Structure 1
């Protein structure tokens, strides 16, 4: 199962909403995604397939060994889908 980590400043609210959006989008494309919503401090070094965060936060995650997807408008489900789905599909094919 694919695991993603969504990251925001506090680790709840924004990242939880983002995680639920991504899981719903993935499911609509036939993918099951496990996830965890965390704050920036907890995100570093987390085991996952990729991370998703707002553009401000994603800059702080540049040292991570996994892809970090930067979302400019966290309320824009179309932007989230356009950026996240290609990564989900690529990771699924790679397994």
Structure 2
């Protein structure tokens, strides 16, 4: 399964979010590939789900075919875990 962590430039905050997603998946025993990327690249990338900020979430929801999960606090283990759980429930 391929997950994307997306921020404006695909460098800073998406890297933090990527690490949080990887930890959440590992805790749940879920194998996945997590990439961090920018908004433009995310629109052209085939992924199973996108995790991003609330600011970018609406734009991405209208541009990608997979579910988009908006995260307020990228380092919040519980919040990221809830988004991962919500994704897993949809599968």
Q: TM-score, normalised by structure 2?
A: 0.89
The alignment status of 1:60 with 2:62, answered yes or no, reads no
Is 2:76 aligned against 1:76?
yes
1:35 — aligned with what? 34
- Distance in 1 (CA, whole Å) between partners of 2:85 and 2:18 is 13
Q: Distance in 1 between matches of 2:49 and 2:24?
A: 16
Shift, 1:90, TM fit: 3.7
Greater share of strand: 1
Instruction: Encode CA deviations 1:27-54: one digit per residue, 9 max, x unaligned.
Output: 1111111011001111103111000001
Q: CA deviation at 1:84?
A: 1.5
1:87 aligns to what?
87
**Structure 2 residue 17 is the aligned partner of structure 1 residue 3:** no
Q: Is the 8 A contact 2:4 2:47 kept in 1?
A: yes
How many residue pairs end up in the alignment?
90
For the 8 Å contact 2:15–2:36, the answer to whether it is kept is yes
Normalized against structure 1, the TM-score is what? 0.86
> Which runs of 5 or more structure 1 residues have no equivalent in the other structure?
none
The runs of at least 4 aligned residues of structure 1 exceeding 4 Å deviation read: none
